[in-house]
Chain A
Amino acid sequence: MLFALPVLLVFLVFSWGPIVKGLVMSLQQTNLVDPVKWVGLENFRYVLTDPGVGQASLNTLWFTLLALLFGFPVPVLLAMFLSELRGRSWLYTTLAYLPVITPPVVAILLWRFFYDPSPTGMFNSILGTVGLGPYLWLDSPSSAMPSIVLEATWAGAGNAVIIYLAALTSVRADLYEAAELDGAGVVRRVWHVMLPHLRGVLLLMLLLQVIGTMQLFTEPLLFTGGGPQGSTMTILLLIYNYAFVNGDYGAATALSVLLALVLAVLSAVFQLATRGWSTE
């Protein structure tokens, strides 16, 4: 019993407690100064009618979509390629993993410099050598979000590569041998053995990536603060603003609960829809 004490205490205070408290707080009005007042669904009504929430939802979805387009295929292809390497593959994996090791704040401050919109900015001078640009990057409402996605993809790709690589090492060698004996060429071996083996992990990573990107915070806060013109204001940044800028904890938890609900429904639907696919 004594051994269960640390886990019980820590989970009670810092996990189970806050989860329950979050659900309760979303029905209350509280700013830590005035007495707590029960307001029913008032917080939800307030949040759902706030035009900022609609804008932030669209921005967040836009980010998620872009992140999937940029960020999903590259690690898969890279891992499939690296799994064919003999010998020096550690060099490749180490290089691919270096951005993941870079602390996000360091990466963001560095990339903020790279995104300097003047013609002598880092990226602009590289693109300038082939006659492109200069671009405004973070300073224009239309390119700010894609710029953030680009950095986030760079920062996260290495992680996915390692996970796919780990999955690929467990493909049974005899499957490839059997395919080869049946006369399957390299392309068909990749298509009929390698990809089906990855399917479960691919689906899971897809879900995790969607869930992760929907909780984007540090990047928009440090890159743009939500601007220009609210084009990078995400749901989580809005929750942060509600709670820690406006002191409206009720609205903040109501929005958190809504986001969590969306994520939960999304995972459930995703699991149901893909149940048949992920078995090998």
Chain B
Amino acid sequence: MSAERSALSDADRKLSRVRVPFVIGQVVVLIGLLVAGLGPMLWLLKAAISPTQDSIRSPLGWFPSGRVEWQNLGTAWQQGHIGYYLGNTAYIAAGTAAVSLIVCTTAGYVLSVLRPRWGVLLSAAILATLFVPHIVSLVPLYLTVLKLPLVHTNLTNTFWAVWLPPAASAFNVLIVKRFFDSIPREYFEAARIDGAGSLRVFTSIVLPLSRPILGVVVLLSIISSWKDYLWPLLVLTNPDLQPVSVALPKIAKVTELNIQLAGLFLALLIPVLLFLVFQRAFLRGVGLSGGIKA
């Protein structure tokens, strides 16, 4: 992430009055980040395999009673159904990403490549929603899902209730459209001359060329759906469909602490592993989101 040079020049870095405080600073910051970033996670791992009394009486101790309870993880997985809820969460996240992809790629294609005359209007109407705080539509959105206009279907307790609303994301449409804008228009013209229709141009030119940005959209929508709590709490009242975020607070109320902490650890494990694997794409996505908002 570093530029060719920053405020400190190579010459500065050799000066001891710059180098010494800088190195000390690095150590201090690294320790701080280790404690704040990794600390809670490592502690949770330790607590997940500790007896409840150890975690309560001396949270800082290293297995004070000498007992290590690996079975906590299994118990949380089985008895707390953490595995099942994680499955729901993954299913919700995958569906959200898929629906979002369909919406923002087709929208980007219309606005960036096909450019119909009413495209400007559509573009403005989508952009305008960026400026309306989500809170205005929380309650009416809930009522919409309760009884879909015209078709009068109740979407609550179906996964459509969590898949569809996040797809109305002006931000996703915007970043995808911007990416499509950067594809040279000669490609489309050449394809047209070769006799390709709109659908063909979309599936064999635009989509394959856009893999990086589509990856970012998928990652961002998976993260936000994985983190979401309020919306699934409202629209998925059937415990069999709930994601792990909604299930955990309920499990916490009725389960012993060691099993509860084991459950938290399991729920944390997957996002962290995913992050470590896709780290670059994650951080680029976030940087991008800041760039766009700016």
Q: Name the one of A17, A165, A166 contacting B149, with C-beta atoms under 8 angstroms.
A: A17
Chain A minimum-CB-distance residue to B270: A103
Distance, CA A260 to CA B138, complexed state (A): 11
List of A residues within 8 angstroms of B290 by Cβ: 162-164, 166-167, 201, 205
Q: Name the one of A93, A126, A259 contacting B133, with C-beta atoms under 8 angstroms.
A: A259
Interface size on B, residues (CB 8 A): 103
Say whether B289 faces chain A, with CB atoms less than 8 Å apart: yes
Tell me whether A81 and B29 are in contact in the complex, defined as CB-CB below 8 angstroms, given that A7-B173, A14-B167, A101-B275 are known contacts.
yes
Chain A minimum-CB-distance residue to B107: A7
**Are A263 and B264 touching (Cβ within 8 A)?**
no
The interface centre, meaning the residue of A11, A17, A23, A200 with most chain B CB atoms within 10 A of its CB, is: A11
Per-residue CB contact flags for chain A residues 244-267 toward chain B (1 = under 8 Å, else 0) read 100001001100110110011001
**Are A186 and B12 touching (Cβ within 8 A)?**
yes
Looking at the complex, which of B31-39, B72-80, B182-190, B208-216 is the stretch in contact with chain A? Answer: B31-39
**Are B287 and A165 touching (Cβ within 8 A)?**
yes
Say whether A99 faces chain B, with CB atoms less than 8 Å apart: yes
List of B residues within 8 angstroms of A5 by Cβ: 106
List of B residues within 8 angstroms of A125 by Cβ: 58-60
Complex interface residues of chain B between 151 and 205 (CB less than 8 A to chain A): 164-165, 167-168, 170, 173, 198, 202
Looking at the complex, which of A48-56, A130-138, A141-149, A170-178 is the stretch in contact with chain B? Answer: A170-178
Complex interface residues of chain A between 98 and 125 (CB less than 8 A to chain B): 98-99, 101-107, 109-110, 113-114, 116, 120-122, 125
Tell me whether A120 and B59 are in contact in the complex, defined as CB-CB below 8 angstroms, given that A19-B129, A95-B38, A176-B9 are known contacts.
yes
**Are A4 and B107 touching (Cβ within 8 A)?**
yes
The interface centre, meaning the residue of B230, B267, B293, B294 with most chain A CB atoms within 10 A of its CB, is: B294
Q: Name the one of B41, B106, B260, B267 contacting A3, with C-beta atoms under 8 angstroms.
A: B106
Distance, CA A252 to CA B136, complexed state (A): 9
Q: Name the one of B3, B33, B244 contacting A171, with C-beta atoms under 8 angstroms.
A: B3
Q: How far is the CB of B151 from chain A (nearest CB, A)?
A: 10
Distance, CA A95 to CA B248, complexed state (A): 25
Distance, CA A154 to CA B60, complexed state (A): 20
Q: How far is the CB of A163 from chain B (nearest CB, A)?
A: 3
Q: How far is the CB of A259 from chain B (nearest CB, A)?
A: 6
Distance, CA A267 to CA B261, complexed state (A): 41
**Are A163 and B133 touching (Cβ within 8 A)?**
no
The interface centre, meaning the residue of B60, B133, B226 with most chain A CB atoms within 10 A of its CB, is: B133
Distance, CA A174 to CA B46, complexed state (A): 49
Chain B minimum-CB-distance residue to A100: B286
Distance, CA A71 to CA B37, complexed state (A): 15
Q: Name the one of A21, A103, A169, A259 contacting B267, with C-beta atoms under 8 angstroms.
A: A103
Chain B minimum-CB-distance residue to A208: B293
List of A residues within 8 angstroms of B5 by Cβ: 173, 176-177
**Are B139 and A166 touching (Cβ within 8 A)?**
no
Say whether A16 faces chain B, with CB atoms less than 8 Å apart: yes
Q: Name the one of A14, A91, A171, A204 contacting B164, with C-beta atoms under 8 angstroms.
A: A14
Distance, CA A136 to CA B107, complexed state (A): 52
Q: Which 10 A-B pairs have the closest CB atoms?
A: A163-B290, A166-B287, A7-B107, A18-B137, A95-B37, A21-B140, A15-B168, A95-B33, A18-B140, A98-B37
